[in-house]
């Protein structure tokens, strides 16, 4: 061992120790590496920072932007809503669909981002079905990790291994090269979690009581709206169809106050403000509040040919996501004090409708529109989210108290979902066809996302997870330094000597085990940076194809199932799932072994060594 190699290994050991301790954080350690390595004289400054210009690093940054476009247009949330609607009351169907959706989304966007989106979705499902969150949180994280085995762009380690092949003079992987291995692992993961998730329930409190903000049902009940808030669909032959709201005078004639109008558009449901000139058509759904007694509602619906859809029965898949609900408090200095609800002109001034009034513990229901407001009164307001945001700017008339936790503000570019899907489709087609490089395809996708207004430039810059970029760039010089000082060749020789007489299956299994165990202490991306050159050098030492070895490293880097700190994906579900460290060991270690067996057998079968 040379002095230079000893220096590099010493710095690497120090970096790994800091990664394991979590102090300082990982990207700060990587930045220190960029600072220290050139000072050793082993690498030049240009060699140390070359990672900032590496195509794979730029590709990862571009994929963050594309993934954010899917979030901002609501595609990810729509899949979650579909999950709620499709699963019904079946826990088995729920788990299977959850893992399939998460793995599908994670194959084209950040798995960490997918988990962040689905954690609140899963919590709401568990509250509704009275399930312990721990029975679904770990399947969520397992599916997100397996998604890294589905496509080339699914996770950073895949791109790191791909880049290592290119630097070694090989062709590299294709977009779907991982898919034949990822699909069997996903099927195995679903079957395994159908059994293993039951092991977690005994360690989790069963009460699962809702905490934090009230739900939509809570607010409907607290303001006495159960018999006063409805969605009414205009049926064929209704006398309302073909007339404007001004001509119909619904409030004066029928006690029917229109809050918003849902209308089927070309790409889903459009939300219309109830302006005086708005003409109703058959099929429109009116979000209304009633001032007439509940027993009179069925007769009114028959008279006007309206189909009654109670607001409280809405599920996330059919709820009008552009409509919001907030609870506000009238301040002592408010100009609204002394005015009636009608006289305050909430619709004209704020674009919102008052549907409920509480005075202390008293629910004011009969004639609340004519009741004079007092300081301390709380109002329940319903209307478009954009009007709610506008009403809070520079206003002192009222302050926001609550909004239902299950009635979320729609994504900022909800109407651009078709454009986002088109952009994603173009990227995938270009990557699969190889017409242009992967980086060019991703940059084109970013340009389409911005040009089609799925994401603005400021949001695009903010979407890039710069800590991950700096971590990758900071670890890449170690790979170069180890190759330059003979460390990679030394590691490859040691690996070959260790299992040289045991055959290729044992060699691949050993490489998988070393990679996955290394990933317990440092990030899977950093692990791939270190292990990919070793895998390729091992293949060259044996005179065989490097692709099976590189693939094993990529698959093992995603198999971070064993501890809650193996991946940010696991860390995200640790708290919501109420897990202990041992829960991940109990469930993750056996599944890692199963994944290793499947991966080794599939790789040796589908990727011959010669």
Residue 201 has pLDDT above 70, yes or no: no
Q: Distance between CA 546 and CA 558 in Å, rounded?
A: 19
Nearest CA-CA partner of 346 in 303, 381, 311: 381
Range of 43-57, 114-128, 491-505 with top mean pLDDT: 43-57
CB-based contact 43:481 (threshold 8 Å): yes
Report DSSP letters for 317-342, one per residue: TTS-TTEEEEEEEE-TT-TTTTSBHH
pLDDT confidence of residue 268 = 54
Q: Which of 1-10, 307-316, 409-418, 575-584 has the lowest mean pLDDT?
A: 307-316
Range of 10-19, 59-68, 275-284 with top mean pLDDT: 275-284
pTM metric for this prediction: 0.64
Mean pLDDT of 37-65: 83
Please name the residue that has the structure tokens 């003979």.
486
pLDDT confidence of residue 33 = 86
Q: Distance between CA 51 and CA 72 in Å, rounded?
A: 29
Residue 207 has pLDDT above 60, yes or no: no
Report DSSP letters for 132-147, one per residue: -THHHHHHHHHHHHHH
Q: Distance between CA 310 and CA 578 in Å, rounded?
A: 35
pLDDT confidence of residue 579 = 79
Residue % of the chain over a pLDDT of 70: 84
> Which of helix, strand or coil describes residue 383?
strand
How deeply is 394 buried, as exposed, middle or buried, from its count of CB atoms within 10 A (0-12, 13-18, 19+)? exposed
Residue 302 has pLDDT above 70, yes or no: yes
Q: Which of 170-179, 180-189, 311-320, 387-396 has the lowest mean pLDDT?
A: 311-320
pLDDT confidence of residue 531 = 87
Mean pLDDT of 191-215: 64
Distance of CA 239 to the CA centre of its chain: 45
Q: Which residue has the higher pLDDT, 508 or 411?
A: 508
pLDDT, tens digit (0-9, with 9 covering 90-100), for 75-123:
766 776 677 677 766 778 888 999 998 898 888 777 776 776 677 677 7
Q: What is the dihedral of CA 61, 65, 66, 70, to 10 degrees?
A: 140
pLDDT confidence of residue 316 = 43
pLDDT confidence of residue 147 = 92
Q: Quickly state the pLDDT bin for 3 (edges 50, 70, 90).
A: confident
CA angle centred on 395, ends 389 and 400, rounded to 5°: 60
Q: Distance between CA 163 and CA 27 in Å, rounded?
A: 21
Q: Quickly state the pLDDT bin for 430 (edges 50, 70, 90).
A: confident
**How far is the CA of 5 from the CAs of 406, 481, 526, 536, in angstroms?**
57, 8, 19, 19
pLDDT confidence of residue 499 = 67
Q: Quickly state the pLDDT bin for 46 (edges 50, 70, 90).
A: confident
pLDDT confidence of residue 208 = 46
Instruction: Give, for 263, the enclosing helix (H) or strand (E).
Output: strand 256-265
pLDDT confidence of residue 396 = 64
pLDDT, tens digit (0-9, with 9 covering 90-100), for 229-275:
777 889 998 999 989 988 888 888 888 878 778 787 665 566 676 77
pLDDT confidence of residue 592 = 94
CB-based contact 72:109 (threshold 8 Å): no
pLDDT, tens digit (0-9, with 9 covering 90-100), for 512-557:
998 888 877 667 777 888 888 888 888 888 888 999 999 999 999 9
pLDDT, tens digit (0-9, with 9 covering 90-100), for 352-411:
778 788 887 778 776 777 788 887 788 888 777 767 767 665 556 777 777 776 555 566
pLDDT confidence of residue 126 = 76
pLDDT confidence of residue 266 = 60
Q: Quickly state the pLDDT bin for 315 (edges 50, 70, 90).
A: very low
Nearest CA-CA partner of 471 in 67, 63, 24: 24
pLDDT confidence of residue 314 = 42
pLDDT confidence of residue 591 = 94
């Amino acid at each position: 061992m040379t002095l230079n190699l000893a220096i590099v290994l010493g710095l690497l050991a120090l970096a790994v120790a800091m990664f394991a301790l979590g102090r300082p954080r990982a990207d700060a350690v990587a930045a220190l590496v960029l600072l220290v390595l050139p000072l050793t004289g082993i690498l030049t400054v240009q060699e140390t920072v070359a990672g900032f210009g590496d195509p794979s690093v730029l590709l990862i940054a571009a994929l963050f932007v594309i993934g954010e476009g899917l979030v901002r247009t609501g595609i990810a949330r729509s899949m979650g809503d579909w999950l709620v609607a499709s699963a019904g009351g079946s826990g088995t169907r729920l788990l299977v669909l959850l893992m399939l959706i998460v793995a599908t989304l994670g194959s084209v966007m950040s798995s960490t981002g997918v988990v962040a989106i689905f954690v609140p979705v899963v919590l709401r499902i568990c509250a509704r079905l009275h399930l312990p969150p721990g029975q679904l949180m770990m399947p969520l994280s397992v599916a997100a990790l397996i998604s890294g085995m589905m496509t080339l762009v699914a996770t950073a380690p895949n791109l790191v291994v791909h880049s290592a092949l290119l630097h070694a003079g090989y062709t590299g992987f294709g977009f779907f090269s991982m898919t034949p291995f990822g699909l069997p692992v996903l099927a195995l993961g679903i079957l395994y979690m159908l059994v293993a998730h039951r092991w977690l329930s005994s360690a989790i409190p069963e009460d699962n009581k809702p905490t934090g903000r009230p739900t939509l049902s809570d607010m409907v009940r607290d303001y006495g709206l159960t018999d006063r808030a409805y969605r009414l669909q205009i049926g064929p032959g209704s006398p309302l169809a073909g007339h404007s709201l001004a001509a119909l005078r619904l409030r004066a004639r029928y006690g029917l106050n229109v809050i918003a109008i849902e209308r089927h558009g070309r790409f889903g449901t459009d939300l219309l403000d109830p302006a005086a000139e708005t003409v109703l058509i058959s099929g429109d759904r009116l979000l209304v509040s009633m001032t007439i007694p509940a027993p009179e509602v069925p007769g009114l619906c028959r008279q006007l040919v309206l189909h009654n859809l109670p607001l409280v029965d809405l599920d996330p898949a059919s709820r009008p996501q552009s409509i919001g609900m907030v609870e506000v408090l009238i301040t002592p200095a408010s100009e609204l004090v002394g005015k009636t609800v009608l006289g305050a002109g909430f619709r004209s001034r704020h674009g919102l409708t008052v549907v409920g009034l509480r005075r202390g513990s008293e629910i004011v229901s009969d004639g609340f529109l004519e009741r004079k407001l007092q300081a301390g009164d709380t109002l329940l307001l319903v209307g478009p989210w954009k009007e709610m945001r506008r009403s809070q700017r520079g206003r002192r008339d009222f302050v926001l108290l609550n909004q239902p936790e299950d009635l979320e503000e729609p994504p900022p570019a909800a109407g651009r979902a078709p454009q986002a899907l088109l952009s994603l489709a173009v990227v995938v087609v270009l990557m699969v066809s190889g017409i242009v490089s992967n980086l060019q395809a991703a940059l084109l996708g970013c340009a389409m996302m911005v040009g089609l207004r799925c994401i603005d430039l400021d949001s695009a810059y903010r979407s890039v997870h710069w800590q991950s970029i700096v971590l990758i760039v900071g670890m890449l010089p170690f790979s170069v330094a180890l190759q330059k000082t003979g460390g990679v060749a030394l590691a490859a020789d040691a690996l070959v000597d260790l299992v040289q007489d045991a055959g290729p299956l044992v060699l691949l299994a050993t490489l998988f085990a070393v990679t996955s165990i290394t990933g317990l202490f440092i990030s899977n991306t950093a692990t791939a940076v270190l292990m990919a050159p070793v895998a390729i050098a091992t293949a060259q030492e044996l005179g065989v194809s490097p692709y099976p070895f590189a693939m094993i490293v990529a698959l093992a880097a995603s198999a971070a199932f064993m501890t809650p700190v193996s991946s940010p994906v696991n860390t995200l579900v640790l708290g919501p799932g109420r897990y202990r460290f041992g829960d991940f060991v109990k469930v993750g270690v056996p599944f890692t072994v199963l994944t290793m067996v499947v991966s080794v057998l599939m790789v040796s079968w589908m990727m011959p060594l010669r």
